């Protein structure tokens, strides 16, 4: 299978060539030339598979330039009970007839991003070793991505992680998750500033091609294709657990999770609706309701109680838009240039927007008050404690639920990560999974720096040259 760019200007390349890349050279995102289609017999055979077997059946189609035996070993090493807490990996709970919760947050950092990043860690190590390369991952985090990436890459050979986080802006739990890691290949940089300062510094570093090449800088951001591919697997797992067609309610920010559902549907999985749930930062909900995609200015982005969905622009949306324009990269490039110039793209009344209905996407949004009410309701009705992001999905899912179609709500993080909102909703402490009891008391390893690109580059350069 070869991968092309959404903007039509990159040479087709195999999986292991695009794995370590961020954007395609033409500024687009990589995706497969065409989606593999599964026939009824193949789908039936998948039904009884364990999670690792299913992951292998699906990922072998996307990563077909990794020898089958090696890919299988990497997958078997990733999706274990030790790492994800159960053999199911992503268990499905039935809350009432036709209403399900898909647990995606039982990995090491307690957020759904672990499902993809734990695999990425092993894939990176394999490909770097094979190509005799080293990689220095530089990233910015407002909370979940940083810890998930660090837990995935800690102790891995030939890779170091430099993670920028806004000093004093994360929950004590989130900061401790990252800063307590003692692995020599993990570097935490707490920036005196806000998340946007961290992201701007990472962008400045990625934009300095000479620096990037000299210090072998890479990324594990949400546009990485392997992350999407790994997330396709649990849509299959959930449909099989539910017994057939299902709709999914997906708390969304960068559109990676719900886009994986789109891919699963294109591969032949019977999915009803893909219900995109946003918080007050509703760029995606606005698009699906009106056809207008309006990027928010940084100052317009609201700090909410579901912070992992506080985004101005959804990076994976470009992959979905590629299908809306009939997989015509030149056409999409034109539209995106217009979006860049004008800050808004209005597709209302166009054939592009009419295609949305055929893809099954619908949407809704949620507020802080909705989150509190939903957390209370789910606790009272089912005795299940959900986190604020999951609550956004649940609220919108119930609003858009269709009679007779099973609804699967995705659990994207554990409540322990967001104790403040849980206390506000339920007047009690969330329980902590085993191993996290004393997290905030562990010794921390973090470098505090000004929001200064020069200083941070200097630090990265010194650390990367020491390691060679
Ligand atoms: C990242 C994240 C999301 C949003 O997922 P996308 O793939 O970016 O849409 C939702 N909930 C939690 C807890 C997250 O960490």
pLDDT band with cut points at 50, 70 and 90 for residue 209: confident
Q: Is residue 108 classed as helix, strand or coil in its secondary structure?
A: coil
- 218, pLDDT greater than 90: no
99 Cα: distance to centroid of ligand 1 (angstroms):
21
User: For the segment 423-460, what is each residue's pLDDT rounded down to a tens digit?
Assistant: 999 999 998 898 898 999 999 999 999 999 999 999 99
Residue 47: per-residue pLDDT: 95
Q: How many Å apart are CA 193 and CA 168, to the nearest integer? A: 9
pLDDT band with cut points at 50, 70 and 90 for residue 397: very high
Residue 252 CA: nearest ligand 1 atom is: 9
Most confident of the ranges 59-68, 162-171, 193-202: 59-68
DSSP assignments along 287-312, one per residue: HHHHSEEEPPPGGG----SSGGG--S
Please state the rounded mean pLDDT for residues 342-355.
Answer: 96
pLDDT-above-90 percentage for the chain: 85
Higher pLDDT, 200 or 114: 114
**Which residue's alpha carbon is at the smallest distance from atom 1 of ligand 1?**
308
pLDDT-above-70 percentage for the chain: 100
Residue 465: per-residue pLDDT: 81
- 89, pLDDT greater than 50: yes
Residue 467: per-residue pLDDT: 62
User: For the segment 137-177, what is each residue's pLDDT rounded down to a tens digit?
Assistant: 999 988 788 999 999 999 999 999 999 999 988 888 999 99
Higher pLDDT, 121 or 223: 121
User: For the segment 251-265, what is each residue's pLDDT rounded down to a tens digit?
Assistant: 999 999 999 999 999
Residues of 100-128 as b/e, b for ≥16 C-beta within 10 angstroms? bbbbbbbbbbbbbbbbbbbbbbbbbbbbb
Residue 231 CA: nearest ligand 1 atom is: 7
Residue 145: per-residue pLDDT: 87
Is residue 3 a contact partner of residue 32, using CB atoms and an 8 Å limit?
A: yes
Q: Is residue 5 classed as helix, strand or coil in its secondary structure?
A: strand
Choosing from 232, 308, 375, 430 the residue with most ligand 1 atoms within 8 A of its CB, the one to mutate for a pocket test is 308
User: Which pTM was predicted?
Assistant: 0.95
Residue 171: per-residue pLDDT: 81
Q: Is residue 187 classed as helix, strand or coil in its secondary structure?
A: strand
Higher pLDDT, 460 or 199: 460
Residues with CB under 6 A from ligand 1: 111, 113, 144, 222, 251-257, 308-309, 389, 412-413
Catalytic entry in 61, 77, 113, 237: 113
DSSP assignments along 188-228, one per residue: EEEEES-HHHHHHHHHHHHH-HHHHHHTTEE---TT-HHHH
Q: Is residue 114 classed as helix, strand or coil in its secondary structure?
A: helix
Residue 251 CA: nearest ligand 1 atom is: 10
Residue 257 CA: nearest ligand 1 atom is: 7
- How high does pLDDT run on average in the chain? 94
Residue 149: per-residue pLDDT: 95
113 is catalytic: yes
User: For the segment 35-58, what is each residue's pLDDT rounded down to a tens digit?
Assistant: 999 999 999 999 999 999 999 999
- 195, pLDDT greater than 90: no
Residue 299: per-residue pLDDT: 82
Residue 468: per-residue pLDDT: 47
| Among the ranges given (156-160, 204-208, 235-239, 350-354), the one the predictor scored with the smallest mean pLDDT | 204-208
308 Cα: distance to centroid of ligand 1 (angstroms):
6
**Which residue's alpha carbon is at the smallest distance from atom 8 of ligand 1?**
254
Q: Work out the burial of residue 58: count CB atoms within 10 Å of its CB; fewer than 13 is exposed, 13-18 middle, 19 or more buried.
A: buried
Choosing from 102, 113, 224, 394 the residue with most ligand 1 atoms within 8 A of its CB, the one to mutate for a pocket test is 113
- 67, pLDDT greater than 90: yes
Degrees to nearest 5, angle at CA 30 with 264 and 362: 40
Choosing from 112, 178, 310, 386 the residue with most ligand 1 atoms within 8 A of its CB, the one to mutate for a pocket test is 112
| Among the ranges given (5-9, 117-121, 220-224, 436-440), the one the predictor scored with the smallest mean pLDDT | 220-224
């Amino acid at each position: 299978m070869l991968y092309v760019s959404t903007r039509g200007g990159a040479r087709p390349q195999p999986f292991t060539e695009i794995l370590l890349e961020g954007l395609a050279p033409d500024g687009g995102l990589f995706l497969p030339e065409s989606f593999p289609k599964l026939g009824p017999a193949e789908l039936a055979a998948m039904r009884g598979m364990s999670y690792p077997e299913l992951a292998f059946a699906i990922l072998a189609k996307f990563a077909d330039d990794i020898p089958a035996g090696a890919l299988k070993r990497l997958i078997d090493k990733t999706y274990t009970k030790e790492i994800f807490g159960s053999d199911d990996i992503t268990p499905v709970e039935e809350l009432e007839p036709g209403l399900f919760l898909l647990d995606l947050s039982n990995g090491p950092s307690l957020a759904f991003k672990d499902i993809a990043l734990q695999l990425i860690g092993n894939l990176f190590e394999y490909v770097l070793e094979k190509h005799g390369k080293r990689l220095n991952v530089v990233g910015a985090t407002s909370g979940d991505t940083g810890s998930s990436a660090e837990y995935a890459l800690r102790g891995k050979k030939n890779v170091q992680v430099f993670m920028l986080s806004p000093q004093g802006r994360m929950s004590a739990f989130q900061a401790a998750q990252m800063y307590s890691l003692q692995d020599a290949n993990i570097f935490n940089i707490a920036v005196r500033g806000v998340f946007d300062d961290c992201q701007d510094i990472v962008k400045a570093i990625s934009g300095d091609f000479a620096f990037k090449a000299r210090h072998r800088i890479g990324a594990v951001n949400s546009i990485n294709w392997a992350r999407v591919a790994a997330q396709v697997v649990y849509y299959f797992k959930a449909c099989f657990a539910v017994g057939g067609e299902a709709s999914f309610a997906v708390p969304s920010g960068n559109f990676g999770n719900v886009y994986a559902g789109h891919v699963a549907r294109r591969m032949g999985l019977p999915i009803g609706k893909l219900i995109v749930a946003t918080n007050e930062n509703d760029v995606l909900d606005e698009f699906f309701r009106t056809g207008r995609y309006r990027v928010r200015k940084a100052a317009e982005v609201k700090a909410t109680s579901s912070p992992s969905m506080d985004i101005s622009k959804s990076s994976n949306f470009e992959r979905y838009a590629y299908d809306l324009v009939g997989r015509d990269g030149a056409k999409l490039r034109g539209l995106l240039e217009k979006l860049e110039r004008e800050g808004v793209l209005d597709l209302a009344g166009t054939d592009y927007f009419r295609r949305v209905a055929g893809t099954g996407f619908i949407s809704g949004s949620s507020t802080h008050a909705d989150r509190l009410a939903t957390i209370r309701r789910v606790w009272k009705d089912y005795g299940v404690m959900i986190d604020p992001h999951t609550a956004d999905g649940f609220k919108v899912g119930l609003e858009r639920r269709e009679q007779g179609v099973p609804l699967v709500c995705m659990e994207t993080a554990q409540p322990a990560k967001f104790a403040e909102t849980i206390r506000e909703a339920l007047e009690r402490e969330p329980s902590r999974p085993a191993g996290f009891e004393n997290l905030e008391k562990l010794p921390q390893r973090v470098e505090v720096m000004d929001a200064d690109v020069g200083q941070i580059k200097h630090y990265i350069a010194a650390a990367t040259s020491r390691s060679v």
